[in-house]
Every structure is written in structure tokens, then in C-alpha cells.
Structure 1
Amino acid sequence: MSVLEEYLRGWRPRPVVEHDAMAPEQSRALANVLETAAPVDELPPLWHWVHFLSWPPHSDLGPDGHPLDGDFLPPVPDRRRMFAGGRLTIQEPLRLGTPAERTTELGDVQVKQGRTGEMAFVTERREFHQDGRLRISEEVDYVYRSGENEAKNPNRLRPTDFPKSQADWQWGFTADPVRLFRFSALTANSHRIHYDETYCREVEAYPGLVVHGPLLVLLMTELARENGQITDVSYRLRRPVFSGDPVLVCGGPDGAMSVRSDQVHAEASMRFAEHR
């Protein structure tokens, strides 16, 4: 049995049920961060990420800004977490102003050996109900490491311009510290890699502030939903994007989306209502 498997043996947290009033203020704020129109009634895909928020006491946070403990945080020493990917099926959109219920349970747990050491892949399964009906089914994948054993290259040449693409749909995007700060606040994300550049460089060995993985996914879904009603999303984060780096969000009618510079940073597959 590996070291991480030993720590995870017997770890089986119980399902957690939470409620949210689905007040419209959070969505209005996210619309301003994304610079798009605020929803009036139905919540766009993945906008539920600014609802069902958790704000633990400040004393319950670790030196990296993440909570030290939580229902689905694995008992791994010197824990480092990365947002890795996920899947979403929309039966019906969530509606603003109508109370909703979210049930979260532990899904799959796997320990894998990568080139930089052991990694624990943990999947959270979530169901969202409103008016007694299942509206959204979601799985979110996280990768956990014990200690800092990820090889990084803080001196890697960073992109200076948007890449060329023949994609039908394209957006150029460059993150800045203010947008990252606002997105952190909207999602109750206190991880220091998104707002503390000194910490990023000196502790995490990143070349700059890291753009939130969920923000990259939202950029892809926002571009796609301009062109159709999304019913299913599958996404994967491949490598980080840093504040100030120009990236291209692109895709087409087949639902294949990506965020790229000279390499792919995130990718997603969308299904639209007419193709379901």
C-alpha cells in the first residue's frame, strides 16, 4: 500500500446537504466580473459556483489560505490541492430567487503515481434540487499531493501575444490581479496563489498569480452559450494560466472548446440542446 493510500484508508465522509436562497446579487456580481449580461431568471451553466459558499473562521485556514479541515478534504499531511476537471449535466437550469438544495457525496478516490510523485484523485458528486426536482448533476475532480513535490519552472518563457486559430468562435482573454481578486471573493476562494504574488513566487514557485481553474472553465462555457443552449459539459484543466498572459478561448459548433496559448491550458466538450 502506498503512503497516500495508507492515509486515505477508511476515509469515507458522509453526504452533506446544503441550502441556498439563490439570491440574484451573486449572479449580478459575477456578470460584472465576466462583463456579460446578468441573468434575469435562469442561471447559466456553472454559475451555481457563486452560490452554496462556505466561509470558515479565519483561524481554520492554513498557511496557503485553504481550509485546514472540511467534509471532503482528505486526511493527507501538508496537503496541496489542484482543481483538475469535472462533468455537468443540466436537466433544468436552476432559477434565481427560488431556494435550492445541494447534496454532496464522495465519489471515486484513486491514488496514482505520476512523474513528480504520488497523487490522490478525489471526485465529489453533487446533485442540485429545486422545487423537489433534480435540476443539475455534477462531478468535480481534485488532485491532492502531500507536500510540495510538483516540478515547476518559474523561469519558463511566458506568452506575449494571442495564438492564431481557425476556430469558428474566439475570445482573447488576459487576466489581471483585480479580476482575480474579485473572482476569489465571489467564490469564497482564499487560496493565496490567486492574490499573493510573493507567496506564488517564493513558496509555490509559480512565475505569477494563478488564474482560477473555474474561471477558465466559465470562459469556455460563456463562449459556447453565446451559440447554443448547453445541456452537458465535460472539462479538464491541463496547466495553469498566469495573470498577464494572453490566452485564446476558442471552439466551434461541435462543442470542442479550449483555452490556449502556445499550448493547451484547459479544454472542454459541450453538448447542446439540439444534439441531446
Structure 2
Amino acid sequence: MTDVLADLCEYVGKSVVTSDVVTAAGVAQLAATFGIDPPASRVGDPLPPGWHGPFFVPTHGPQNMREDGQPAGGFMPKIPLPIQRLRGENTQFEGVLRIGDEMTRKSEIAAIDIDDLAEGGPVVSLMFRQTLSGPAGIAVIEERRFMYFGTDYRLDTSSPELPALHDWERIVDPDPVTLFRFSAIRFNSHRIHYDRRYAMDVEGHPGLIVQGTMINFLMVEMARTGAVGKQLRALDFRIHTPISDTAPFTVRGAMTDAGATLWALDGDGVLSMTAFARYAG
């Protein structure tokens, strides 16, 4: 196992460039998932920060897929550990994309760290960077942090101190239709979001798991629409514990001197996710 994990470092720096087009249909589908009006619908309309999610969907075939439905092989390394988790993401909104724009995306494995002495078995941390560019140049930079580990490993669930009061709040019912539609828009085949038997019997969750990217999107929308007159430039989120579909969850946010702090609570009030937003100026 140690030799196999060590070989993973050879993937660092590998990259691939793909292309796509910003479509009104993708924006409309994402808006419909949450019952809101599309913020852009005609050619030339600018996409608000965070609305690039429906584009550049993965296209890995069954031969390049882990048991859990996630990609492996080809560009992505085959990591021989059964559980993969998105632990966080830093997104920077550098420019504007518009309906009708032709885009390119450079996807790069930025870093791989291996801890083969961790209590509970080896752990692999992977940083995945994606840079989206349009006619005006770089528009979005995403840095996603993934962890791979075995069934005996326990994640660090420590969390920062939160504001005593909140300025914004949204209660979300994670029904199966919403989870399915969000996964379908992004062509996300991770089984914990739609295969209840797999999520519960294989990975031991109490139900289906709400997509971290969904909660991230809701936080971006809250930070974008709640801070009237401010331009959102970046949002960095961290997942502490997953949220299941067994009860409604809550997303809250508060303005701070440095920007905004946002957080998500599961149905029992347990802190699941935190984020920090930065604005222009």
C-alpha cells in the first residue's frame, strides 16, 4: 500500500484543458432546482458569482469510476482507499462570464499529501485546482480539497468560533428530488447523494448526504444577495461533518468587518459547514 500511495505524487502538476459554452438552459435548471428566478436568461447577460456550476460537467465513463461513483483513472489518480470526501473549497471570482460565452477550463492536480501513519489508517489529501476563462480572461478559480481514507479513520470535526447573531437565515428541506436534480445538473455520480442503500449500508450514513457543493452554492447566494451594494470576490468553505436528508438543515450568515461569515447546521443543530466571504473594496 505504501508504494502505491507514494506513486500518487507523480500526478501532481498534471492538467487537462476542456471547453464549454455558457447556456441559459444550465442557469434555468439550477434556478428551478431551488424555485428561484434565473438571474441571467439572454445572450450577453452576466452570470452572478457562483452560477458557473452547471457547466464543465464530468464525462468519465464506467471504466474510470470508483465503486462510490467518483472518477478515478485517466487524469485523476486511482487512490486505493474506499472513502472520498470533499473537505472544502476556495473559490475566487476574478471576472465575468456571460450567457453565450465560450469558455475554457484548466483542471490541475495542484498537490497530493500522504499520511500513512495516521490513526485509523493512511490518509491522502488532494488539492484540485480549476481555472475558468472566458473572452475577457480568467473568471473563476476553484481550489477543492479532497480527502481519501479507510473506514476506521475519523475526520477532524473541530470548528471555529461563530458570530453570536446572524443577519441571514434559510431553512432547507433536502428532499430526494432536490438532491437528485442538483446531482443531475452537475452530472455528479457520487452514490452517497442518491443511492440510499449504498450511503447507509456501505458508508454508514443515516441517510442520503446533502452535496457539499449545494450548501456552498446556497452560501454564495446568501453572501451575494444579502450584502446589498457589495461585490462578492471570494468564498472559502470547510465541511466539518456531513448533513443527511433526515431533517431540514439551516444556513445562516453574518456580516463582519472582514466580509461575512456563513455556517450550516444539521437538523439537530450540529455545525456542519463554515465559510468566509470576501467582498471587493
Which TM-score band (shorter chain)? Answer: 0.7 to 0.9
Q: Give the gaps of 5 or more residues in structure 1.
A: 153-164
Matched with 1:259 is 264
2:123 aligned with 1:119: yes
How many residues align? The count is 260
2:58 aligned with 1:54: yes
Matched with 1:38 is 38
Change beyond 3 A, Cα 1:70–1:13: farther
SS in 1 for 2:68: coil
Matching residue's letter, 2:276: S
Change beyond 3 A, Cα 1:116–1:24: farther
Structure 2 residue aligned with 1:139, among 131, 139, 143?
A: 143
Give deviations 1:82-127, integer Å, cap 9, x for gaps. Answer: 1111112112122121111111112122123544332111111222
In 2, Cα distance between equivalents of 1:22 and 1:87? 22
Give deviations 1:158-197, integer Å, cap 9, x for gaps. Answer: xxxxxxx731111111201111111110111111111111
2:107 aligned with 1:100: no
In 2, Cα distance between equivalents of 1:137 and 1:60? 25
Structure 2 residue aligned with 1:130, among 134, 144, 148?
A: 134
Change beyond 3 A, Cα 1:74–1:18: same
Q: Give the gaps of 5 or more residues in structure 2.
A: 156-163
Matching residue's letter, 1:209: L
Residues 13 and 111 in structure 2, CA contact (< 8 A), matched pair in contact too: no
Matched with 1:218 is 217
Matching of residues 128-207 of structure 1 within 5 Å? 128-145=132-149, 147-151=150-154, 166-207=165-206
2:277 aligned with 1:270: yes
How far off its partner does 1:263 sit?
A: 2.0
Residues 17 and 104 in structure 1, CA contact (< 8 A), matched pair in contact too: yes
Give deviations 1:204-256, integer Å, cap 9, x for gaps. Answer: 11110000110011111111111233111111111100013222100112210
Matched with 1:15 is 15
Change beyond 3 A, Cα 1:139–1:9: closer
How far off its partner does 1:81 sit?
A: 1.5
Give deviations 1:40-81, integer Å, cap 9, x for gaps. Answer: 12223222221011223345434322234241x333224432
Residues 4 and 111 in structure 1, CA contact (< 8 A), matched pair in contact too: no
Residues 4 and 118 in structure 1, CA contact (< 8 A), matched pair in contact too: no
In 1, Cα distance between equivalents of 2:122 and 2:69? 23
Matching residue's letter, 2:16: V
Matched with 2:247 is 245
The percentage of counterpart residues that share the same residue type is 28
